Amino acid sequence: MAEAVLGTRRVLTGSAGRAFRLDVVATGPSTTAEAGDSVARKAQQDERPIGPTGRPYQGFPTPPKLESHGPARIIALCNQKGGVGKTTTTINLAASLADYGRKVLAVDFDPQGALSAGLGVQTHDVTTIYDLLLEPKRDAHEAIVHTAVENLDIIPANIDLSAAEVHLVNEVAREMILARVLRGIANEYDVILIDCQPSLGILTVNALTAAHGVLIPLECEFFALRGVALLIETIDKVRDRLNPAIELDGLLATMYDSRTLHSREVLDRIVEAFGDRVLETVIGRTVKFPDASVSGVPITEFAPEHPAAQAYLRLARELVARGAVA
Ligand SMILES: Nc1ncnc2c1ncn2[C@@H]1O[C@H](COP(=O)(O)OP(=O)(O)OP(=O)(O)O)[C@@H](O)[C@H]1O
Ligand SMILES: [Mg+2]
């Protein structure tokens, strides 16, 4: 079995000449460098198409239609490393799940407000997540904004949230405030995605305390694994002390560039370290994401046929297949 790059798609061709499409975004011109990579070697051994994580490639079925909605499973997208794709994944996974008929709430939990901007929601003079944290008696519905995407709502954030660390420090049960806020609205959604800020401070601990699951995006570059041990240690502590039910839903490799040996080596290392906890869906590197963010819409709306949009739809199907989402 040989591996080749055709256009923007990476394919494995079997001995019978059948082509298996992989939902990996390969950008730019094709190269022959991949022919000798470890993925192809593994594929040669067992004659089955192998995905970029080194496991046999499988499609995931279209999620069944839901007859009723809620209560939501809450998933925190977390990594204290900056710029790894937390916000991009929150936006596009949320839109993909909404596309499959799930009622989705995205919570912007980063004072940078990138999630709000990426979904085209204005953050000035509106009720934000910060207001709900500070006034727990306030009705959370006041902060919910419908986005241009059907089935997708958001609770926005702005720079005010940066004061939360200081304000919450003397609160009783300060780690549980977000959990209490979301309790009031969880029945109306199938899934709530929390876009965390790049730190392990009180806000992130609030997100982990509110969550049923954690999704860790990892950029496929040299320092990807740096800090992941500390993040997992933090999740373990939260499980011990605050939220016994929290699960690690998976690690998601992002910004993968199949043309570079570096990207492939880093992905191999991530799989070596975390095995099956690494999601099979891998998000490729493409300039379409910054383009879509500037337009304030998910890539599934901006360029629905683009392999990157297809990759996030596959991620949504994989999470449903794994039971992480209804
Ligand atoms: N798959 C991708 N290919 C190319 N660029 C990407 C990809 N995913 C994200 N980006 C870009 O990388 C930058 C960082 O992404 P993003 O904001 O999603 O990361 P983050 O983890 O939320 O960052 P922060 O820690 O600052 O909140 C953004 O400019 C985004 O458009
Ligand atoms: Mg972000």
Cα(232)–Cα(245) distance, integer angstroms: 15
User: Max Cα separation, the chain?
Assistant: 67
- pLDDT value at position 292? 83
Inter-CA distances, 264 with 41, 47, 48, 89, 223, Å: 13, 20, 19, 20, 14
- Return the residue whose CA atom lies nearest to atom 3 of ligand 1: 285
Q: Do 59 and 280 touch, CB atoms closer than 8 A?
A: no
> Which 8-state DSSP code applies to residue 50?
B
Around ligand 1, the residues with Cβ closer than 6 Å are 82-88, 110, 114, 198, 254-255, 283, 285-286, 289-290, 293
pLDDT tens readout for residues 244-302: 999 999 999 999 999 999 999 999 999 999 999 999 999 999 998 888 888 888 999 89
pLDDT of residue 32: 33
What gap in Å lies between CA 214 and CA 130, rounded to an integer? 22
Quote the CA–CA distance of 34 and 38 in Å, as a whole number.
9
The alpha carbon of 197 and the centre of ligand 2 are apart by a number of angstroms equal to: 6
Contact of 76 with 214, CB cutoff 8 Å? yes
Q: How far apart are CA 273 and CA 227, in angstroms?
A: 13
Residue type, 205: V
- Tell which residue, 86, 89, 87, 83, has the closest CA to residue 223: 83
Distance from the CA of 114 to the center of ligand 1, in angstroms?
Answer: 10
* pLDDT given for residue 45 in this prediction: 54
- The pLDDT score that the predictor gives to residue 222 is 86
Cα dihedral 19, 278, 304, 11 in deg (nearest 10): -20
Residue owning tokens 């002390």? 241
Helix (H) or strand (E) holding 194: strand 191-196
- Position 216: which residue type? I
| Residue 291: per-residue pLDDT | 84
**Distance in Å, CA 163 to ligand 2 centroid:** 18
Nearest ligand to residue 263 Cα: 1
Gyration radius (Cα) of the chain, Å: 20
Rounded Cα distance between 103 and 85, Å, is 22
What confidence score (pLDDT) does residue 57 get? Answer: 81
CB 225 within 8 A of CB 269: yes
What's the pLDDT at 103? 98
Residues of the chain under the 70 pLDDT cut: 1-48
Residue 302 φ/ψ, nearest 5 degrees? -70, -40
Which residue from 147, 152, 158 is spatially nearest to 312, judged by alpha carbons? Answer: 152
Domains of the chain, earliest start first: 2-46 (no CATH), 73-252+286-321 (3.40.50.300)
Question: Best of 88, 197, 220, 302 to mutate for ligand 1, by most ligand atoms within 8 A of CB?
Answer: 88
255 CA: nearest ligand 1 atom: 1
The pLDDT assigned to 256 comes to 96
Q: What is the pTM of this model?
A: 0.87
Burial class (CB in 10 A: 0-12, 13-18, 19+), 42: middle
